[in-house]
Structure 1
């Protein structure tokens, strides 16, 4: 049974969402404000945090940022606002996904399942043997089997999403990967045409491994310089 932290100040939405998640087998703990939500996160360490953006005390974007400073636990934001600025701010703060209110319970459950799958340790494919050892790209070293990343010889901490992005880029170095393809491989589902999430996470990865290492191919997508 997976543990979910739900932080939502609207009591009706909070209870309806809790019941939906529990009906699908999740163990749900709830909070009505950001400060309480952060304390519960630190105490219970859930496997996914579902956060409303508009929270009293500490809003969802700030809470997502605090969680990301301390943990790689997947964070899903929910909000009645679909302004691109709010979406991008949430993703840049460290959120992995977002859902706009009103949402179907089945959609939220599907998104959570995807986050849990992405957070699970990667298993090597039985169809294609993995590379014999680490892959080197200048001063960047990446081992697809251990998921170890080093930059200038120093260990580099990446989130699960960033590791999966880097794995896709290193497996196809020099090849253009479209945003839709990255959505399918990294996020494990179609994003209804919204590719902002890819752009934000690529920017975050660039900030860690070097901004010039991943090239933007205008109108198509991205590629890792071989």
Structure 2
């Protein structure tokens, strides 16, 4: 079985201010790499739009309503100092959730051995009731809950190797031992969370790394 790839043109329509680090060019860069012949075996599928009800697996209803209400009809608005939204941002966010949940279905139901989702906006900084760090909703957290709700997964592991700590994912699963959250990240760095001492219900494992850490130390952090 080959790796499945989900993406969608709407992800390029989630717009941020000029020069913003989380912009459509990030996804275009991934697309250019994956267009190489080395990735010709990828099973490329257009991401489906998600079921909005699944957002409630990780976020309260009033927060979801506030995000929806913040989406502008024209232009770009600021959700917080780092996080922006444009007219297509809601559709992009819901489609990103749809792709992640479809990836869960594909693996549990045997249609793919593994799945890569190339989507925007990102998610791991979005806390239970706070959009932040470029993120509107926590896509990974929703997908983890989806695996539990639909496929009755007893335990789910989320392994996060972004340079920034996934404070939102940690916040959502802080006291839930059914989800293991493991993160490697640079420290000190935004958002200032992710110390080794932050362990939740024994289900949070943080491996903060110093700036310019080399590959050997990075690999050792997974031991």
Normalized against structure 2, the TM-score is what?
0.33
More strand by share: 1
More helix by share: 1
Normalized against structure 1, the TM-score is what?
0.33
